[in-house]
Structure 1
């Protein structure tokens, strides 16, 4: 898939997500829909889902809606790719997860990963979107731009 084709695919998926979640206020329903549509929209997506900030442990992420194999149940802020995205509130694009310091191997088949922070209107972190591929170096700036736009429009 070329970068142009990938960008067009993100645009189509963004429109589909917007249409499906229009008028839905429930955060879980929105996350479940976003993860489902994204997961089935790209063949290189191996695991697609959300880790939500635990209101009882505000420095920890807990598994939320997802598609794919079993995920980690909890991830502390600052640990692994998801925890780094949570603590820095910045998107992480990782070509080789095995080379990432402190990587958490929820599924050993994961090779590359992108994690996008989900912020509320005040800028507070509410979750992260985590997408893994079982192929190395599958995510780039097109994925970052597409996913960040979808997250911004959806939450």
Structure 2
């Protein structure tokens, strides 16, 4: 499976000595390139002590959603719930912030450092209902590796 093949590459990226943002961007590139239904891959992080998320490195169509208040959209809900959020069909989600008309599904996995939710990886797909439990487990692995470079 592609996820098992990507894990060593994620570990190699996170162990580099380049800047955190460069490594996060490289992870975005890796995932978007090798997983055909990952059409937008990015990171959002808590904006200092504010109750909002700020866009970090990403790959995909540019977005106007560089700041997301806690509780708004899928990302904002994950910032509050501390739980993975998989949306098979964004069109039926009440609290969804549309980034692109082509997006059909979204998955957001929180990043924890010392038990605190400090950000998340956000992935949009132009494919309806593509995400499985395997995506969740793989992205939890990715966020764990990212948390290690953020400590």
TM-score over 0.5 for the alignment?
yes
Instruction: Kindly tell me the number of residue pairs found equivalent between the two proteins.
Output: 146
Match of 1:115 in 2: 108
Q: CA deviation at 1:126?
A: 1.8
Contact 2:14–2:145 at 8 Å: present in 1 too?
Answer: no
**Cα deviation digits, residues 87-134 of structure 1 (max 9, x gap):** 1111101100111121000111110010010111x1112211000001
Q: Mark the runs of 5 or more structure 1 residues left unpaired by the alignment.
A: 1-7
- 1:54 and 2:47 are equivalent in the alignment: yes
- Partner residue of 1:146 out of 138, 142, 146: 138
* Runs of 4+ that moved beyond 3 A: 23-26
Given that 2:42 and 2:57 are in contact with CA atoms closer than 8 Å, whether structure 1 keeps it comes out as yes
1:66 aligned partner: 58
Runs of 5+ consecutive residues of structure 2 not aligned to the other structure: none
Contact 1:49 1:129 in 2 (8 A): yes
Tell me how far apart the structure 2 counterparts of residues 23 and 70 of structure 1 sit (CA, whole Å): 27
Q: Is the 8 A contact 1:110 1:132 kept in 2?
A: yes
Q: Distance in 2 between matches of 1:108 and 1:101?
A: 16
Contact 1:46-1:68 at 8 Å conserved across structures: yes
CA spacing shift, 1:89–1:26, aligned 2, 3 Å: farther
